[in-house]
Amino acid sequence: MDIQPYKINVSDEILSDLHERLKRTRWPEKELVEDWSQGIPLGYVQEMCEYWLHTYNWRQRETELNRFDQFVTTIDECDIHFIHQRSPHEQATPLILSHGWPGSIVEFQKVIAPLSDPTNHGGSAEDAFHVVCPSLPGYGLSGKPPAAGWGVEKMADVFAELMIGLGYERFGAQGGDWGSAITTALGGRHPQNCLGIHLNMVMRGKRPKDQPPTEEETAALEAAAYYRDWDSGYSTQQGTRPQTLGYGLTDSPAGQLAWIVEKFWSWTDNQGHPEDALTRDEMLDNVMLYWVTGSATSSARLYWESFKSLRPEQVHVPTGVACFPKEIIPPVRSWSEGTYTDIRQWTKMPKGGHFAAFEQPDLFVEDVRSFFAQIR
């Protein structure tokens, strides 16, 4: 495997073009309600775009992201970008972290150092991981798949090949959102290599039909109904016509920002505003990895590839689950045990939402350490 060092270095031309597009944004009329029920409010998108144009400093943020050791390799004709932060502790456990949509490697920037260098972040040498954090194919700094067929199972196989190519014959895996599906597939398809998986979103299992739902199950069913009726339009569009959607998002930075930031409102643990959970700079860092790489369309294709046919692998490797209260659909252990047959840890978190490592890095790190300590 040919592996080359990588540094993020967005061209001045791309940044100048972004600024010109922001200045020339053609705005829609204001929403007809006083909340977010028709979508992300016009006034907030205008505030964010004004901040993006005049205050946000990409070069500073780029330097921050470049503090991690980054590389690129090619697997099956697709460039795979990844962070590879080796621990100073040689006996550390290899761990691959997989993001989802609308996320990126940015989600993990607060947890990479505590996981790889625990003795400087409140842990012990036994807690150490060699951290590998790839950009999903079609997302951010990775290449765009050259042909159809790059669904969840394909990405899991590519990530297994990446880890083995790095010299890690045995490794742990962690993920949320699509990263959860990929991590589940890693555990199901590569048990000889994957020593265990940790998830902060669980692929839905089956609820017994012959008994009334418990209070926990009722909450999950209500969340699922809300998601189906009010929060899943993006997935229907991305799962059916990603190419059509991509023309608008790739051409308009305001459109790309709105498409992503609405989910930071909907899926984080906040008091009504996304900035209760994440800063403007953090959200824009994530938006930038979609904008500067033009990956709105290629990232959405993962839904087209996988969403309707997604059937979780049955996983027999040890599994840990971190249940954050504002997850899109709160996981129910009894529903999950048919898919994950060896659940060793099931943690009910006091706060946090869908973007676990981004929102609550300390809780995330503590739970990952606790789980893998049991199975090393």
User: What CATH number does residue 76 fall under?
Assistant: 3.40.50.1820
- Which pLDDT does position 210 carry in this prediction? 79
Q: Dump pLDDT digits (tens) for 221-263.
A: 999 999 999 999 999 999 999 999 999 999 999 999 999 999 9
Give me the sheet containing 319-323, strands edge to edge.
3-6, 70-75, 78-85, 129-134, 93-98, 171-175, 194-199, 319-323, 343-348
Is position 226 annotated as part of the catalytic site? no
| Percent with pLDDT over 90 in the chain | 95
Q: Dump pLDDT digits (tens) for 324-364.
A: 999 999 999 999 999 999 999 999 999 999 999 999 999 99
| Residue position matching structure tokens 């001045």 | 12
Compute how many other C-beta atoms are within 10 angstroms of the C-beta atom of residue 256.
21
Q: Dump pLDDT digits (tens) for 188-212.
A: 999 999 999 999 999 777 777 778 8
Structure tokens at 302: 């993962």
- CA dihedral defined by 302, 306, 311, 312, rounded to 10 degrees? -10
Catalytic residue among 177, 269, 285, 367: 177
Range of the domain at 60: 3-375
First to last CA, the chain: 27
pLDDT band at 309 (very low <50, low <70, confident <90, very high): low
pLDDT at 79 over 90: yes
- CA dihedral defined by 365, 85, 97, 83, rounded to 10 degrees? 140
pLDDT at 156 over 70: yes
Is position 168 annotated as part of the catalytic site? no
Q: Dump pLDDT digits (tens) for 32-55.
A: 999 999 999 999 999 999 999 999
- Per the structure, the count of domains in the chain is 1
Catalytic residue among 56, 303, 340, 367: 303
Is position 362 annotated as part of the catalytic site? no
Structure tokens at 179: 């990263």
Q: Dump pLDDT digits (tens) for 83-125.
A: 999 999 999 999 999 999 999 999 999 999 999 999 999 999 9
Catalytic residue among 84, 89, 130, 354: 354
- Which pLDDT does position 206 carry in this prediction? 76
Query: In a 3-state reduction of DSSP, which class is residue 173?
Result: strand
